[in-house]
Amino acid sequence: MTKEQKNEVIEVLKGKFAQYNNFYVTDTESLTVEQVSNLRRACFDKKVEMKVAKNTLIKKALESLDSTKYSGVYDSLHKVTALMFSENPKEPALILTSFRNDKNLKKPELKAAFINGDVYTGDENLKSLTKIKTKEELIGEVLGLLQSPAKRVLAALLHHHEKQAAGVEAGAPDAGAAEAPAAE
Protein backbone atom coordinates (compact mmCIF):
# COMPACT_ATOMS: atom_id res chain seq x y z
CA MET A 1 0.00 0.00 0.00
CA THR A 2 1.46 3.34 -1.03
CA LYS A 3 1.66 6.31 1.30
CA GLU A 4 -1.04 8.01 -0.78
CA GLN A 5 -3.38 5.01 -0.38
CA LYS A 6 -2.74 4.92 3.36
CA ASN A 7 -3.57 8.63 3.62
CA GLU A 8 -6.80 8.02 1.70
CA VAL A 9 -7.80 5.26 4.14
CA ILE A 10 -6.96 7.51 7.10
CA GLU A 11 -9.12 10.31 5.66
CA VAL A 12 -12.07 7.95 5.08
CA LEU A 13 -11.75 6.62 8.64
CA LYS A 14 -11.51 10.15 10.08
CA GLY A 15 -14.73 10.99 8.28
CA LYS A 16 -16.49 7.94 9.77
CA PHE A 17 -15.20 8.60 13.30
CA ALA A 18 -16.33 12.24 13.01
CA GLN A 19 -19.73 11.22 11.61
CA TYR A 20 -20.64 8.59 14.21
CA ASN A 21 -20.76 8.85 18.02
CA ASN A 22 -20.78 5.05 18.23
CA PHE A 23 -18.39 2.51 16.82
CA TYR A 24 -17.34 -1.02 17.67
CA VAL A 25 -13.88 -2.53 17.24
CA THR A 26 -14.20 -6.25 16.52
CA ASP A 27 -11.88 -9.18 15.94
CA THR A 28 -12.88 -11.01 12.76
CA GLU A 29 -9.79 -13.19 12.60
CA SER A 30 -10.55 -16.80 11.64
CA LEU A 31 -13.83 -15.92 9.93
CA THR A 32 -14.12 -17.22 6.39
CA VAL A 33 -14.67 -14.90 3.44
CA GLU A 34 -18.28 -16.13 3.29
CA GLN A 35 -18.81 -15.41 7.01
CA VAL A 36 -17.39 -11.89 6.64
CA SER A 37 -19.72 -11.34 3.65
CA ASN A 38 -22.68 -12.53 5.73
CA LEU A 39 -21.65 -10.20 8.56
CA ARG A 40 -21.40 -7.28 6.11
CA ARG A 41 -24.88 -8.10 4.79
CA ALA A 42 -26.29 -8.21 8.35
CA CYS A 43 -24.70 -4.82 9.03
CA PHE A 44 -26.03 -3.34 5.80
CA ASP A 45 -29.56 -4.58 6.57
CA LYS A 46 -29.45 -2.78 9.95
CA LYS A 47 -27.83 0.44 8.66
CA VAL A 48 -24.50 -0.29 10.32
CA GLU A 49 -21.36 0.52 8.32
CA MET A 50 -18.58 -2.04 8.52
CA LYS A 51 -15.01 -1.17 7.55
CA VAL A 52 -11.91 -3.36 7.71
CA ALA A 53 -8.62 -1.51 8.03
CA LYS A 54 -5.11 -1.91 9.33
CA ASN A 55 -4.76 -1.16 13.03
CA THR A 56 -2.00 1.40 12.49
CA LEU A 57 -4.21 3.37 10.09
CA ILE A 58 -7.15 3.23 12.48
CA LYS A 59 -4.95 4.52 15.28
CA LYS A 60 -3.54 7.34 13.12
CA ALA A 61 -7.07 8.41 12.13
CA LEU A 62 -8.21 8.45 15.77
CA GLU A 63 -5.09 10.26 16.99
CA SER A 64 -5.41 12.93 14.32
CA LEU A 65 -8.99 13.67 15.44
CA ASP A 66 -8.49 13.62 19.23
CA SER A 67 -5.71 11.54 20.74
CA THR A 68 -7.04 11.66 24.32
CA LYS A 69 -10.74 11.17 23.54
CA TYR A 70 -10.05 7.83 21.84
CA SER A 71 -7.09 6.69 23.97
CA GLY A 72 -9.12 3.87 25.58
CA VAL A 73 -9.55 2.26 22.17
CA TYR A 74 -5.86 1.98 21.23
CA ASP A 75 -5.10 -1.19 23.23
CA SER A 76 -7.79 -3.05 21.29
CA LEU A 77 -6.10 -2.38 17.96
CA HIS A 78 -4.39 -5.71 17.32
CA LYS A 79 -5.03 -8.77 15.14
CA VAL A 80 -7.63 -8.44 12.36
CA THR A 81 -9.93 -5.50 13.02
CA ALA A 82 -13.33 -4.69 11.60
CA LEU A 83 -14.99 -1.44 12.62
CA MET A 84 -18.76 -1.14 12.90
CA PHE A 85 -20.21 2.39 12.77
CA SER A 86 -23.79 3.08 13.85
CA GLU A 87 -26.15 5.87 14.90
CA ASN A 88 -27.85 3.35 17.21
CA PRO A 89 -25.47 2.46 20.07
CA LYS A 90 -26.73 -1.09 20.56
CA GLU A 91 -27.34 -2.24 16.97
CA PRO A 92 -23.77 -3.54 16.38
CA ALA A 93 -23.97 -5.49 19.67
CA LEU A 94 -27.26 -7.05 18.55
CA ILE A 95 -25.77 -7.93 15.15
CA LEU A 96 -22.66 -9.53 16.72
CA THR A 97 -24.73 -11.50 19.24
CA SER A 98 -27.21 -12.70 16.63
CA PHE A 99 -24.46 -13.58 14.15
CA ARG A 100 -22.55 -15.60 16.73
CA ASN A 101 -25.69 -17.39 17.99
CA ASP A 102 -26.96 -18.23 14.48
CA LYS A 103 -23.62 -19.63 13.36
CA ASN A 104 -22.63 -21.06 16.77
CA LEU A 105 -19.36 -19.09 16.65
CA LYS A 106 -17.16 -17.26 19.15
CA LYS A 107 -16.18 -14.63 16.56
CA PRO A 108 -16.51 -11.82 15.70
CA GLU A 109 -15.36 -10.86 19.14
CA LEU A 110 -15.84 -7.43 20.65
CA LYS A 111 -12.51 -5.80 21.36
CA ALA A 112 -13.88 -2.37 22.25
CA ALA A 113 -16.91 -0.15 21.79
CA PHE A 114 -16.95 3.63 21.79
CA ILE A 115 -20.47 4.74 22.77
CA ASN A 116 -21.15 8.47 23.05
CA GLY A 117 -17.72 9.17 24.52
CA ASP A 118 -17.48 6.10 26.78
CA VAL A 119 -15.20 3.15 26.01
CA TYR A 120 -16.18 -0.45 26.78
CA THR A 121 -13.36 -2.94 26.35
CA GLY A 122 -13.57 -6.70 26.14
CA ASP A 123 -16.03 -9.23 24.80
CA GLU A 124 -17.60 -9.63 28.26
CA ASN A 125 -19.32 -6.25 27.68
CA LEU A 126 -21.20 -7.46 24.60
CA LYS A 127 -24.26 -8.67 26.50
CA SER A 128 -24.64 -5.42 28.46
CA LEU A 129 -24.23 -3.37 25.26
CA THR A 130 -27.27 -5.14 23.76
CA LYS A 131 -29.31 -3.59 26.59
CA ILE A 132 -28.26 0.02 26.04
CA LYS A 133 -31.27 2.26 25.56
CA THR A 134 -31.40 4.30 22.38
CA LYS A 135 -32.29 7.98 22.53
CA GLU A 136 -35.73 7.17 21.11
CA GLU A 137 -36.33 4.44 23.71
CA LEU A 138 -35.34 6.79 26.55
CA ILE A 139 -37.62 9.54 25.24
CA GLY A 140 -40.46 7.01 24.96
CA GLU A 141 -39.92 5.88 28.56
CA VAL A 142 -39.88 9.46 29.85
CA LEU A 143 -43.05 10.29 27.91
CA GLY A 144 -44.67 7.13 29.28
CA LEU A 145 -43.72 8.13 32.81
CA LEU A 146 -45.02 11.65 32.30
CA GLN A 147 -48.30 10.37 30.85
CA SER A 148 -48.76 7.69 33.49
CA PRO A 149 -49.83 9.96 36.39
CA ALA A 150 -52.20 11.89 34.13
CA LYS A 151 -53.74 8.64 32.89
CA ARG A 152 -54.19 7.44 36.47
CA VAL A 153 -55.85 10.71 37.52
CA LEU A 154 -58.17 10.60 34.50
CA ALA A 155 -59.01 6.95 35.16
CA ALA A 156 -59.76 7.72 38.81
CA LEU A 157 -61.93 10.68 37.86
CA LEU A 158 -63.81 8.63 35.26
CA HIS A 159 -64.27 5.79 37.71
CA HIS A 160 -65.52 8.22 40.38
CA HIS A 161 -67.84 9.91 37.87
CA GLU A 162 -69.22 6.55 36.66
CA LYS A 163 -69.71 5.41 40.25
CA GLN A 164 -71.43 8.66 41.13
CA ALA A 165 -73.63 8.52 38.01
CA ALA A 166 -74.58 4.92 38.79
CA GLY A 167 -75.39 5.91 42.40
CA VAL A 168 -77.59 8.80 41.32
CA GLU A 169 -79.51 6.62 38.87
CA ALA A 170 -79.92 3.80 41.37
CA GLY A 171 -80.52 6.19 44.27
CA ALA A 172 -83.10 8.45 42.58
CA PRO A 173 -86.18 6.32 43.29
CA ASP A 174 -84.97 5.62 46.84
CA ALA A 175 -84.42 9.32 47.45
CA GLY A 176 -87.94 10.10 46.24
CA ALA A 177 -89.44 7.30 48.35
CA ALA A 178 -87.59 8.54 51.41
CA GLU A 179 -88.81 12.08 50.87
CA ALA A 180 -92.45 11.06 50.36
CA PRO A 181 -93.09 9.83 53.93
CA ALA A 182 -91.32 12.85 55.33
CA ALA A 183 -93.60 15.14 53.33
CA GLU A 184 -96.76 13.53 54.71
Instruction: Tell me the per-residue pLDDT of 2-22, one tens digit each, with 9 for 90 and over.
Output: 999 999 999 999 999 999 999
pLDDT for the residue numbered 173 = 53
Mean pLDDT of the residues in the chain = 87
Provide the pLDDT confidence category of residue 143 given band limits of 50, 70 and 90.
confident
**Domain span at residue 123?**
3-132
Q: Would you list the DSSP string of 36-59?
A: HHHHHHHHHHTT-EEEE--HHHHH
Least Cα distance to 72 among 63, 81, 80 occurs for 63
In CATH, what number is assigned to the domain containing residue 61?
A: 3.30.70.1730
Distance (Å, whole) CA 51 – CA 135: 25
Instruction: Tell me the per-residue pLDDT of 105-121, one tens digit each, with 9 for 90 and over.
Output: 889 999 999 998 999 99
pLDDT for the residue numbered 175 = 47
- Residues 105, 179 within the same domain: no
**Which has more pLDDT, 8 or 183?**
8
**Which has more pLDDT, 155 or 83?**
83
- Residues 141, 125 within the same domain: no
Distances (CA, A) of 36 to 94, 104, 132: 16, 15, 25
Number of domains in the chain: 2
